[in-house]
Amino acid sequence: MLVTTKEMFKKAYDGGYAIGAFNVNNMEIIQGITEAASELKSPVILQVSKGAREYANHTYLVKLVEAAVKLYPDMPIALHLDHGDSFELCKSCIDGGFTSVMIDLSSKSFEENVEGTKKVVEYAHAHGVVVEAELGTLAGIEDEVVVEEGKQSYTDPSMVEEFVQKTNCDSLAIAIGTSHGAYKFKPGTKPQLRFDILEEVSKRIPGFPIVLHGASSVPQDFVKMVNEFGGHMPDAIGVPEDQLRHAAELSVCKINIDSDIRLAMTGNIRKYFAEHPDHFDPRQYLKPARAAVKEMVAHKIKDVLGSANKI
Ligand code: G3H
Ligand code: 13P
Ligand code: ZN
């Protein structure tokens, strides 16, 4: 069933696990994710970025998600806008069947962030939709916004209470050292999330669901596969999965994963073409790519998120 994240987050917070929020751009990705979640009896968030909407079209994506809802009627599925950057975009998704939106004004001033988020929250709540907001900026690429390394700012815990109280948002994305894309940490450095910031935030807003963006772990098997079969992605490094597991045990209720899906598909498609140079049927090379997405998502649900058997 298509639901908001309200109930999912409450259970996740109390149960010490997190819900996976996977970015979807096409049918195969939606199938891979929902097959895994359904087999493992896990709730799931399917999220659509502005770029995904431009690529695949709003209606196609909504209808594909509706197909998954029909196939798995008992599975709670939330349809979420990832990194909404304007009231108009959020409104269009709220009016167009989404159950959750993110308004990301984290690159603006605190006051502008509060004002803009509040406006989206008022419209969303009047329409039964929940809102994720963000405080603090991540390094990496968010749609068209590129934040240079070193220019990101960790979330200041002293600001979260006022922000949540003034905006009335339903969940909050914070910056504790994750970043978007496949190159999150420098080779030779030790990836370490700032759990001190997470704990300080949770102390100030107890019971409030926290979201982690840029939380792909960049599995090295996929990176090797890409590089072995003609790709060039040296030094692609992600967030260690044990740190994500720990975050899920704390107040993090939503963990965003996009790059790992891209790597699973790209590695497997490259491998397929290298091994079958004469094949040209998209169904042939998309099949192992879809299976790899399913396997990767199943692993996340069981070993990282802890959301199996929570339906
Ligand atoms: O945070 C960004 C997500 O990975 C979505 O990426 O804007 O390329 O669809 P995208
Ligand atoms: P990754 O690039 O780490 O997969 O992050 C995805 C994300 O945060 C989507 O909003
Ligand atoms: Zn993100």
Residue 23 counted as domain residue: yes
Query: Count of domains in the chain?
Result: 1
Q: Which 3 state secondary structure label does DSSP give 194?
A: coil
Structure confidence at residue 138 (pLDDT):
82
pLDDT in tens, the chain (311 residues): 999 999 999 999 999 999 999 999 999 999 999 999 999 999 999 999 999 999 999 999 999 999 999 999 999 999 999 999 999 999 999 999 999 999 999 999 999 999 999 999 999 999 999 999 999 988 665 554 555 555 568 999 999 999 999 999 999 999 999 999 999 999 999 999 999 999 999 999 999 999 999 999 999 999 999 999 999 999 999 999 999 999 999 999 999 999 999 999 999 999 999 999 999 999 999 999 999 999 999 999 999 999 999 99
Q: 282-299 and 27-39 helices cross at what angle (nearest 10)?
A: 40
What's 197's domain CATH number? 3.20.20.70
Which ligand is in closest contact with the Cα of 178?
A: 2
Q: Which amino acid is at 80?
A: H
Residue 37 counted as domain residue: yes
Q: Is pTM beyond 0.85 here?
A: yes
Residue 310 counted as domain residue: no
Residue 161 counted as domain residue: yes
Residue 57 counted as domain residue: yes
- Whether residue 179 has its Cβ less than 6 Å from ligand 2: no
Residue 29 counted as domain residue: yes
| 221 annotated active-site | no
| CA nearest neighbour of 108 among 82, 81, 137, 88 | 137
- Whether residue 180 has its Cβ less than 6 Å from ligand 1: yes
Structural domain span for residue 23: 6-305
Q: How many CB atoms lie within 10 A of CB 95?
A: 11
CA of 123 to the centre of ligand 3 (A): 22
Q: Name the residue of 29, 137, 142 to mutate for ligand 1: max ligand atoms within 8 A of Cβ.
A: 142
- Whether residue 23 has its Cβ less than 6 Å from ligand 1: yes
For residue 180, the ligand 1 atom closest to its alpha carbon is 1
Element (H, E) at 249: helix 241-249
What distance in Å separates the CA atoms of residue 157 and residue 168, rounded to the nearest whole number?
17
Q: What sign results for the dihedral spanned by CA atoms 47, 22, 7, 121? A: negative
- Whether residue 47 has its Cβ less than 6 Å from ligand 1: no
- Whether residue 23 has its Cβ less than 6 Å from ligand 2: yes
Are 114 and 165 contacting, i.e. CB atoms less than 8 angstroms apart? Answer: no
Residue tagged active-site, from 82, 85, 104, 260: 82
